[in-house]
Amino acid sequence: MLEVLAIAFTVFLVILSAAYARRFGIGKEIILAGTRALVQILILASIILILFQKPLYWSFPILIMMAAIAGYTTYSRSGKLEKGLPVAIFSITIASILMLIPFFLVGIFPVEARYIIPSGSIFIGNAMNVSSLAIDRYKGEIKNRRAEIETYLALGARPEIAAGACLKQGILSALIPSIDNMKNLGIVWIPGVMTGMLLGGADPMEAASIQIALFTSIFAAGMIASNLLLHFSTDSFFTKAAQLKEDMGQ
Amino acid sequence: MNPVHLELKNVSKNVFRRVNNNMVRTQILSNLDLKVNKGELVTIMGASGSGKSTLLRLINRLSETDSGIILLKGNDIRSYVPMELRRRIGMVFQVPVAFKGSVRDNLSFGIKLWGGNTGIETLSRDTGIPGNLLDADAGQLSTGEKQRVSIARALGNQPEILLLDEPTSSLDAVSEQRIEKLLLDLQKERDLTILWVTHEKEQAQRIGGKRLILREGRLEHA
Ligand SMILES: Nc1ncnc2c1ncn2[C@@H]1O[C@H](COP(=O)(O)OP(=O)(O)OP(=O)(O)O)[C@@H](O)[C@H]1O
Ligand SMILES: [Mg+2]
């Protein structure tokens, strides 16, 4: 009964927002995005429902699929860099899995689909956001700092050194929103997991501890993912002869 | 006779300009030939946009020729590891770039990278960088000061060939002639081979050497 109410309310809100947003010329887009979100989340719920009845290893292809879609999103954001897709998927997957495993190893979360899928999705989603921001900025810095990069190259520096300052800037600017969020955690906002646990009747202390552990791990995953991605993307901006490419795609 | 140090044979280079969202091909260098002996000084003049900078960038392989071949000591430059090639063929850009950090950090970049033994103090004295500037932030230097820093930085690599792209364009007459003297001394002391792009006829006459002009994609004697 509750779900019917919530969904009806959602549909009502999407239509209302779209009607209002027509004056900005984005009415259709909101209908489309809203419908997509609704359908996707219902499919996800059904998948989790099915996974409850299946053996545990069924969760992993689902996570891999999520990481692949996240990787593709970041890859598109990078302007479809040469060799960019496998690198993006790899970075996001490795970083997410690495930071997720401890939660199950030490027993904060039981090893069940009910925990694996949603927590995995938070890690993957955040790693994707941070990586997209980072690669976009990295590319922008490289475009704007051609003269500096070529001066380094002309002294015999390898591309990694020549583009080092740009890489640092890319990661830094991608992490700034997360750092600000971390500073304001508990003051300006109560993050999703804690909210969910509180709504579900959990003890506030327990909810807060799990939330902060998750939050810091998610931050670390974002940092690792973006670092891996930028590191392995550097080659795409240079030719085999260590020349800065003229044309770096869109 | 000196052995040939650097040779360009039949070198052509096109660039692509974006014009109304179309890429238009323009030939900048066409079947250009050049022979430079070890320890020789060559000045290159030419109208703005004639391709002087483009030519220098081909020699240290910051960009690739479309056809033709460039030989360093008789070997195709493509047979060298690009980083090693660029250590041996130093370049001073038309627009100087100062790296983040102090002037000292800038000067020591190549020395650290390649493990050379040039002294920072000697480098800065020779290029006319005052001692009290050494620990200043390089980002705030004037263009002329940056020009001297980039010359000193390039010399720190102990190159055998130096490509100079209007290296004194922002210097006053005194600093300019001081740099000219330094580079000419180095040329003699170390048997340094120099390609010097300049737009000043007076400078080309002053520093001597073989004088060439880049015109319609080729080098002619001035
Ligand atoms: N990467 C590039 N893309 C498109 N066009 C280029 C590129 N590099 C150079 N050009 C063009 O090639 C021509 C030659 O440029 P270059 O910088 O070599 O001239 P120059 O002789 O050094 O001129 P100046 O005396 O003004 O420095 C110019 O018309 C320039 O617009
Ligand atoms: Mg030029």
What secondary structure letter does DSSP report for B194?
E
* Cβ-nearest to B113 among A150, A157, A243: A157
The answer to whether the CB of B28 is under 6 A from ligand 1 is yes
Domain identity same for A178 and A92: yes
Q: Of the residues A30, A51, A72, which one is the last residue of a structural domain?
A: A51
Structure tokens at B53: 């900078």
What span, in angstroms and rounded, lies between the C-alpha atoms of A98 and A70? 16
Q: Of the residues A31, A51, A71, which one is the last residue of a structural domain?
A: A51
CATH for B198: 3.40.50.300
Going from the Cα of B93 to the center of ligand 2, the distance in angstroms, rounded, reads 8
For atom 4 of ligand 1, which residue has the closest CA? B17
The ligand 1 atom nearest the CA atom of B199 = 25
Going from the Cα of B193 to the center of ligand 2, the distance in angstroms, rounded, reads 20
Has residue A19 been placed in a domain? yes
Rounded to the nearest angstrom, the minimum Cα separation between A240 and chain B is 9
Domain identity same for A124 and A18: no
Is it the case that residue A184 has pLDDT exceeding 90? Answer: no
- Do A241 and B61 lie within an 8 Å CB cutoff? yes
Note the pLDDT of residue B1.
Answer: 54
pLDDT tens for A18-48 read 999 999 999 998 999 999 999 999 998 898 8
Q: How many CB pairs under 8 A join A and B?
A: 59
What does pLDDT average to in each consecutive run of 10 residues of chain B (222 residues)?
88 92 92 96 95 97 97 97 98 95 95 87 89 94 92 94 94 88 88 94 92 96 88
**What part of B 133-162 touches A (C-beta under 8 Å)?**
150, 153-154, 157
* Cβ-nearest to B153 among A155, A158, A243: A155
For atom 28 of ligand 1, which residue has the closest CA? B49
What number of helices (H) and strands (E) belong to chain A?
A: 10, 0
The answer to whether the CB of B52 is under 6 A from ligand 1 is yes
* Cβ-nearest to B95 among A147, A153, A242: A147
The answer to whether the CB of B94 is under 6 A from ligand 1 is yes
Has residue A37 been placed in a domain? yes
Has residue A175 been placed in a domain? yes
Alpha helices in B68-210 (DSSP H): 82-88, 103-114, 120-126, 143-155, 173-190, 201-207
- Do A155 and B63 lie within an 8 Å CB cutoff? no
Note the pLDDT of residue A127.
Answer: 96
- What's the burial of A92, exposed, middle or buried (CB within 10 Å: 0-12/13-18/19+)? buried
Has residue A248 been placed in a domain? no
Has residue A6 been placed in a domain? yes
Has residue B20 been placed in a domain? no
What span, in angstroms and rounded, lies between the C-alpha atoms of A220 and A214? 10
Count structural domains, chain A: 2
Count structural domains, chain B: 1
pLDDT tens for A80-132 read 888 899 999 999 999 999 999 999 999 999 998 888 988 999 999 999 999 99
Domain identity same for A6 and A114: no
Structure tokens at B42: 């060559």
**pTM, rounded to two decimals:** 0.89
Is A153 an 8 Å CB contact of chain B? Answer: yes
Domain identity same for A104 and A163: yes
Domain identity same for A45 and A111: no
Domain identity same for A135 and A99: yes
* B86, B110 contact by CB (below 8 A): no
Has residue A246 been placed in a domain? no
Domain identity same for A12 and A72: no
Domain identity same for A160 and A67: yes
Note the pLDDT of residue B71.
Answer: 97
Containing structural domain, residue A113: 57-237
Structure tokens at B31: 């079947």
User: Which residue would you say has higher pLDDT here, A49 or B150?
Assistant: B150
What span, in angstroms and rounded, lies between the C-alpha atoms of A138 and A78? 9
Containing structural domain, residue B85: 36-64+77-221
**Ligand nearest the Cα atom of residue B28:** 1
Domain identity same for A27 and A148: no
Chain A residues in contact with B60 by the CB 8 A cut-off are: 154
Domain identity same for A212 and A231: yes
The answer to whether the CB of B3 is under 6 A from ligand 1 is no
* A193, B194 contact by CB (below 8 A): no
Has residue A31 been placed in a domain? yes
- Give which of B220, B72, B67, B53 is closest to B159, Cα–Cα: B72
Has residue B11 been placed in a domain? no
Q: Which of B30, B54, B164 to mutate to test the pocket of ligand 1 (most atoms within 8 A of CB)?
A: B54
Is it the case that residue A152 has pLDDT exceeding 90? Answer: yes
Rounded to the nearest angstrom, the minimum Cα separation between B17 and chain A is 11
- Do A150 and B60 lie within an 8 Å CB cutoff? no
Domain identity same for A129 and A25: no
Has residue A109 been placed in a domain? yes
What span, in angstroms and rounded, lies between the C-alpha atoms of A70 and B215? 53
Chain B residues in contact with A165 by the CB 8 A cut-off are: 100
The ligand 1 atom nearest the CA atom of B63 = 1
Mean pLDDT of A185-192: 81
Is it the case that residue A190 has pLDDT exceeding 90? Answer: no
Give how far Cα A69 sits from Cα of A58, A64, A66, A145, B201, Å.
18, 9, 5, 31, 61
The answer to whether the CB of B25 is under 6 A from ligand 1 is no
* Residue written as token pair 């590191």: A231
**Partners of B210 in beta bridges:** B42
Domain identity same for A198 and A221: yes
Q: What is the mean pLDDT of chain A?
A: 92
Note the pLDDT of residue A187.
Answer: 82
Has residue B202 been placed in a domain? yes
Has residue B5 been placed in a domain? no
User: Which residue would you say has higher pLDDT here, A50 or B43?
Assistant: B43
Backbone angles phi, psi at B15, to 5 degrees: -120, 160
- Do B150 and A150 lie within an 8 Å CB cutoff? no
* A139, A78 contact by CB (below 8 A): yes
